[in-house]
Structure 1
């Protein structure tokens, strides 16, 4: 009965989130760079295990906009990258449910449907384009252009790290005026990130280039997560590069829990992140 109540609460919250959604923004008005398949809506996979909706075959990347409630909004926007091994997107667990939580704190959320499966280069193009588009239209949602950050889970954490460290790399030909703006997120949030330790002897993934201009980051992971080393390696590299970083590394929690209650890690990270955002993004 307790589990049923938790799931019901999640679904009610998700329905409220969907009803609050105001806008879907297609990232690429014309041809999607490097994409050979025709544009179409993302496909829902038949795997609905653990009450997770999974999307794949994304050929027309979009941002789904979830404005903060009137009267409880600040000037900060957060682009949310769901995880899924660069194969699928756990769109509710690590997207819509996260957007609803951010809204309660006054943040406007943008859930990114980036390209999958196995389109890592395209995913980075989508992330860069998303940051620039939100920054170019920040006034529409009452946001400050220099307060657009990015948050990701698992592979979405990898994508967030890549966007935060490769923002000076031009990955596509400019489409419009938005592409003249910086692709640097104001901050990065990595919750149980993956694929950040693919260098020699499980060191930092070579494509992640850190400098003192890399944005501040918050990292959360657990020791029993098979990808837990990613957070440790990334935090150490950020520290060495003199980038402000906060790492929380808990004993148990595993991987892929989002913020659904009943998991010790899921119960812990939201309050820690809430405090970090208050002190970091001013």
Structure 2
């Protein structure tokens, strides 16, 4: 619909799918549709971010009850939540025109009861979820010595710096986490420093005692257990990868056959399912040893 004020369109449940997708895509474009008038489908949480949302009425027709029905709180909040474009503007403007006229009696200093209904809806929480950083729990577990698979995996992924300051990159990363930000907001800087110190100490406890700092850096950067990296180093030193490409692949198969549990740490499960047709149990790779 083209008017003197710009281009407008509609959004309702009776649109064909291609029509609906066209209207939505044009509305999301800054150089597309200027305004979109919609039915209560907008209250289902459609992803149609707007600068301004005008809600004409806080009720809709209830077919089962054959009467107008007050919109539920989550429906109104969903419609109002379309105001504001994520990544472009954190704020939006919402104007609600009530279905019922709200009278104000200045003489008696009172207002119609329907106003209290709307006020009760919009005085509720804005439905935002409190987001926690999963690293917070992992760092707490490491601090108290409760090391399991996830905690050890985190320690393996922490970066390792140069020999003169091997712990600084890992400490800096922990201080930049969302968990550390939340603690700084709560004026609990001690938590950040204590968890960073505990993580460094636990990593030292898990690290091999021999001086193999470059292997530690490779393990940290790849997220692989140290024993796998060390085993691969030993395989390379035996000259297993010095021959033809087919011989190198065969040597690698022979190596993984000795420790098949390492396979799932080297290859993602989805990739393995794609290679083996989604079988629940992988067949062992045949290892032909040259005479």
Give the shorter-chain TM-score range. Answer: under 0.3
Q: TM-score, normalised by structure 1?
A: 0.25
More helix by share: 2
More strand by share: 1
Larger radius of gyration: 2
Structure with higher RCO (Cα < 8 A, 6+ apart): 1
Q: TM-score, normalised by structure 2?
A: 0.24
